[in-house]
Chain A
Amino acid sequence: MTNHIDLGTVLRQTLSANLYSNLVTRPTGAAVRGQIELMLRASERSLTVIDFSHVSMIDFSCADEVIAKLLLSRGSQDREAYFVFRGMTDDHWDAIEAVLERHGLALVVERDHGVELVGVLDDREVRLFQAMKHRGGSAAAWELAIDMNEQESTTGLLLERMWRRRLIMRDGDAYMPVGELA
């Protein structure tokens, strides 16, 4: 199931005064996250595009409530919730980068040239994600191990970790970057 959530719209639905375009304050962030979680509750496996295009600015507190807590909750074992962040600009990045660093998180962001990973990542995670993209999407662990010049079991452990972080999707024995299908 693929969802598209326009944060600007959710923000305006959340606030009683339907005027604001800035994601600021913890109470607002918690309310916006609550709305998003409500939309996602129905499905056990979902891919959601979180769209910042109509948000002027986000502060640290709100970024912590919306982004960090959403990402922290996606790792639960009974639910596979994947997110791609769209429309994120430099105006949003300072706050988001700070909360990702604080919690050791990473996320998938959609750029003009495709999806990429940002946040707290090690070199191998970045290389593996690139290798997956070069393969045109779906790839098996043994194929990616060749690209990484590693043992299949070593690459398999990394794939498992990235899947648990919901940075890549798994379909049987194949893996693909989150967002390739968004």
Chain B
Amino acid sequence: MTTVIDIPHSLDEHSFEQVLEQVAPLPPDAKMLLDARHTTWASPYGLGALLTLGQTRGEARATLAVPENDDTTSYWARANFFHYADELFDLKGVVPKRGARGDSQVLLELTPIAKSEDVHGAVDRIQERTQQIIGKELGLDPKAIVGFAMTLSEVCQNILEHAGRGGWVMVQTYNWTKRLGRRVVVIAVCDAGVGFRSSLETAGNHVPSDRWDDAAALEAAVIRGVSRFRDPGRGQGLAGVRKYIGRWGGKLSVRSGTSRIAIVPDWDDDLPLEENLPNFPGAQIQVTIPERVAR
């Protein structure tokens, strides 16, 4: 029997939870049809997480019914989604050929990150385009451009250091009218690796407390900069990301296992910590930097 999983009309870090709620109760080898026919919009997080979901199915390859809306499939193609989805899903519906690059909104198409040189490639490509977007369209100080590339590098390295398998990164700018009424630039990094809790448990000095779970692991790694390595220089990457988003009024959210932690700026009303979410392997990170407005 095939279970149909409804993909929301608008797929982002919050609505993706609806997907996981449907998938979580199913056995790993269950046959699934992900029905995205009515999906009209997806954030970088939504697209990355969808690929990650496909990665978790292994032998039990799921079917993905692609969006019916031409604009949507065209955008997903420009974002390279179908290029990677084809390796992970049986695609059903009309899949456009890979679109030409040049979508001004997509700063970095879905890009696999599995080794150090992939991060170099992503950082070099993003630097070519952020000058225009961050400096001119988002009105941020030129210093924010370098910091943005550093942030991208560090969140991608989370995959190299902790995931144990490859993941994806995507960067996009869009007008976030619903929540903010301003333009934002978003980095999404998704992997289906071991996740923060398992990673930290491999630390030689790890002593599980009574309250050791995914939320505690996220607090340790994201807030306190704890790393599985004994090297005292470790853990600076996410600390640097926190500093960057603090300086530019941004938002950081990290989901791993059954929990999600967020550094929430005053323009957002997200929860700082969510627990008991449906289990999802690996780590999914989103960084959001908003347009600067004159006060």
Contacts and interface: CB of A to CB of B under 8 A. Distances in A.
A-B interaction: yes
B236 interface: yes
Contacts of A21: 124
Interface stretch (B50-58, B115-123, B197-205): B115-123
A19 B150 contact: no
B240 A95 contact: yes
A33 to B, nearest CB: 12
A94 interface: yes
B233 interface: yes
A57 B233 contact: no
A27 interface: yes
Contacts of B243: 98
Contacts of B127: 22, 56-57
Nearest to A30: B116
B237 interface: yes
A54 interface: no
A58 B150 CA distance: 7
A102 B236 contact: yes
A48 interface: no
Interface stretch (A59-67, A134-142, A165-173): A59-67
Contact of A61 (B120, B147, B154): B154
Given A56-B127, A60-B240, A61-B237, A28 B120 contact: yes
Contacts of B232: 102-103
Contacts, number: 89
A103 B157 CA distance: 21
A164 interface: no
A74 interface: no
B157 A94 contact: no
Interface string B146-187: 110110011001001100000000000000000000000000
A69 to B, nearest CB: 7
A60 B237 contact: yes
Contact of A22 (B143, B147, B149): B149
Nearest to A58: B150
Contacts of B117: 15-17
Contacts of B154: 59-61
B124 A20 contact: yes
Contact of A60 (B116, B120, B150): B150
Contacts of A59: 123, 149-150, 153-154, 157, 237, 240
A86 to B, nearest CB: 19
A47 B124 CA distance: 32
A25 B119 contact: yes
A56 to B, nearest CB: 7
Nearest to B145: A91
Interface string A97-108: 011001100000
B147 A94 contact: yes
B161 A24 contact: no
Given A19-B124, A25-B153, 17 more contacts: A17-B120, A22-B124, A22-B153, A26-B116, A26-B157, A57-B123, A57-B146, A59-B237, A59-B240, A60-B150, A60-B240, A61-B157, A61-B236, A61-B237, A90-B146, A91-B146, A99-B236
By Cβ-Cβ distance, the 4 closest A-B pairs, closest first, are A64-B233, A60-B240, A27-B116, A59-B153
